[in-house]
Chain A
Amino acid sequence: MPITRDEVAHLAGLSRLALTEAELEHFAEQLDVIITSVARVQEVAADGIAPMTHAVPVVNVFREDVEVPCLAQEVVLSQAPAAEQGRFRVPRILTED
C-alpha cells in the first residue's frame, strides 16, 4: 500500500518540518520505495524472539548523587538565538502543556 502525500504531510507535521507541496509529493514517492523495501523485515519469522536494543548486555549503570560543576549562565546563553533576563527567549507558544 503506497504511502500517500497526506500521510507524508502528517509525518512532516509530527516532526516539525515545513515542507513545500512539491517536496511532499517528491518525498512521498521516495519514501514509498524505501518503506516497501524495508518492510522486508516482516518476512522474517520472529515469534518469541526478544527485540534487541543493546549490543552491550549490561544493566545498572549509575552515577552517584554527587554534584559536578555546571556551565556558567553566560556560556549557556552565548549560543542562544535570543536571550532575555538570563533566559532563552522563544516565540509565542501555541500548544498548551
Chain B
Amino acid sequence: MTELTAMTAAELAAAVAAGEVTAQEVTKAHLDRIAAVEPQVHAFLHVAADQALAAARAVDDRRAAGMPLGPLAGVPLALKDVLTTADMPTTAGSRILDGWQPPYDATVTRRLREAGVIILGKTNMDEFAMGSSTENSAFGPTHNPWDLSRVPGGSSGGSSAAVTAYEAPLAIGTDTGGSIRQPAAVCGIVGAKPTYGGSSRYGLIAFASSLDTPGPLARTVLDAALLHEAISGHDPCDSTSVNAPVPPVVAAARQADVGGLRIGVVSELSGDGYQPGVLARFGETVELLESLGAKVVEVSCPHFTYALSAYYLIAPSECSSNLARFDAMRYGLRVGDDGTRSAEEVMALTRAQGFGAEVKRRIMLGTYALSSGYYDAYYGKAQQVRTLVTRDFDAAFEQVDVLVSPTTPTTAFPIGERADDPMAMYLADLCTIPSDLAGNAALSVPCGLAPEDGLPVGFQIMAPALGDDRLYRVAAAVEAALEDRWGGPLLAQSKGLGR
C-alpha cells in the first residue's frame, strides 16, 4: 500500500487540485493495489483499467486547462455492480446478467463521472442485492480484509471490502434492508443510507423499489459526506426522487459538535441475542456522546419488533415483480432454446439456472404474499405495519434529534456459517431494517473492536427523512473522539489487509 492509497478522498482531491499529484498517478496506484490484493479479497467483478485511466487523464487535462474541478475530482471509486454503466458490463451479481452491457449510465454513475470521480470498476454483491454476506453472489464470495475467512457483510460486500482494503477510498453501495450499513459495520468503515429518494434509483437494478437507496461507503465521515452530496439530488427520471435541497451533510461533517443534541437509544434494538462485545462497544459510545454534551434518553419504538417480518414480506413481494423481466427474451442468459421448447419453458429453465437459491426463495415468497387470498394477510398487513413503524419514528423524533443502536447484532461471521440458514442470515438486518421501512436516513460509523474476536463493531445513527445532516454531525463527533482515544483510525488496528 503506497501513500496514495492510504490517503482519504478529501486529501486526494486536494492534492490533485493543488497539482501535487496527477489523477492518473492516483488511479494507477489504486489499480496496482487492486492487482495486489484482489486474489485474496475478490471485491471486484470487473476492473476497468483503461476507462479509469482515460477518465483520470480527462481530469488532469481539465486541471491543466485551468478549468474548475469538483470537490472529488480525480478520486477513485468502486461502484457496486447493481448500478448500470454504459462502458462496463453490469451483472447485479447474477449469472442471469453475466456479460450484459447496459446501453445507458445510471444517474448515480453519470453524476459521479460529471464530478470527475474515477470509476475503477464494479464490485461484487449478493445476487440482486439479496443477502447480508455477499455469499449469494454467482461469482464467488468477497472476503473480509480484517479476516479473509469471514464475510464482508452484504449485499454491498464488494464495495465495503474494496474501501477497507484500500483498493479505493470511496465506494457506492445500495441499501434496502441494511446493505450499506451492515457491511460498513463489519468492515470497520463508514456507510450511509440517504433518505429514500435522496439519491436517484434510475439505473439501479431494482430489488425492492420502495426501499432501494444508493449511498456512500468510505473510511472517514467527511469522505462519506462528500460522496453523499455528489450523488444526491432530484432526478426527473425517477418519480420517487425527492424534490428538495440536498441536506448539508458536508457542512455537518465538519461541524462534529453534539452539544445539546438529544439522542434516543431504541430499547427494542439493544438486547437479546446480540453479541456481548457489540453491546459493550455500543454502550461505551453512547456514554461517550453523553460526555460530549449530548442528552441521552431511552426511547421505545414498539413496532420495531415486527419490522423484520414486515420487511421480509414487502421486499420479496416487490422483487418477485421486479425480477420477472429476466425472462430470456430480450437480454441476458437464455437456456434450452433448441427449437423444440416453448417460450414458457425457456423462461422457466433460464430462470432456474440463472438465479441462485436465495433469489428463488424470495421470488416465491413474494409471489405467495401477493397471491389472491393471501394479499391482505401478508403484503397488505406488512404495509400497515410499515405505517406503524414510521409512526413510531415520528413519535420518537418529537422527543429526540437522532436515534441510535448497534448497526448489526454480531461482528463478521465466518463464510459458510449462515449460508444454509436463511432466517439466521436475515437477523443481520434486525437493526437496520426499520429505517428502510420508514425511508429515513441512517448511517453506521465504526465504534471499536469486539473484545472477543477483535472484529469491528458499527454504531448506527438514525435521523428523520431529509435529516441526513444530523447523521454526519453525530458521526463526525464520534469519529473524532474515538480516533483520538485510539490514536488513529480503527483500520490501523487491523492485522489483516487493512494495512
Binding site for A on B (CB under 8 A): 100-101, 103, 195-197, 210, 236, 239-240, 242-243, 303, 306, 309-310, 312-313, 320, 324, 327-334, 337, 339, 341-349, 351-352, 355, 360-361, 363-365, 367-368, 371, 377-378, 380-388, 390, 422-423, 438-440, 465
Contact = CB atoms under 8 A, between A and B. Distances in A.
B364 A27 contact: yes
B352 A34 contact: no
A37 B313 CA distance: 10
A88 B346 CA distance: 15
Given A18-B349, A33-B423, A82 B337 contact: yes
B342 A91 contact: yes
B197 A91 contact: no
Nearest to B364: A11
Top 6 A-B residue pairs of the complex, sorted by shortest distance between their CB atoms: A55-B439, A51-B383, A81-B334, A18-B348, A46-B384, A79-B331
Interface in A10-40: 11-12, 14-19, 23, 27, 30-31, 33-35, 37-40
B306 A43 contact: yes
Contacts of A76: 103
A34 B306 CA distance: 14
Nearest to A80: B330
A16 B309 contact: no
A88 B337 contact: no
Interface of A: 3, 7-8, 11-12, 14-19, 23, 27, 30-31, 33-35, 37-44, 46, 49-56, 58, 61, 63, 71, 75-76, 78-82, 88, 90-95
B388 A46 contact: yes
A30 to B, nearest CB: 6
B239 A51 contact: no
A16 B327 contact: yes
A27 B364 CA distance: 9
Given A17-B352, A75-B103, A81 B309 contact: no
A8 B361 CA distance: 10
11 contacts: A12-B364, A15-B364, A18-B345, A42-B381, A44-B306, A46-B388, A49-B388, A55-B390, A55-B438, A79-B101, A88-B330
Nearest to A63: B236
A71 B401 CA distance: 47
Contacts of B333: 81
Given A30-B361, A55-B439, A16 B386 contact: no
B309 A40 contact: yes
Given A34-B423, A41-B385, A16 B348 contact: yes
Nearest to B236: A63
A95 B114 CA distance: 47
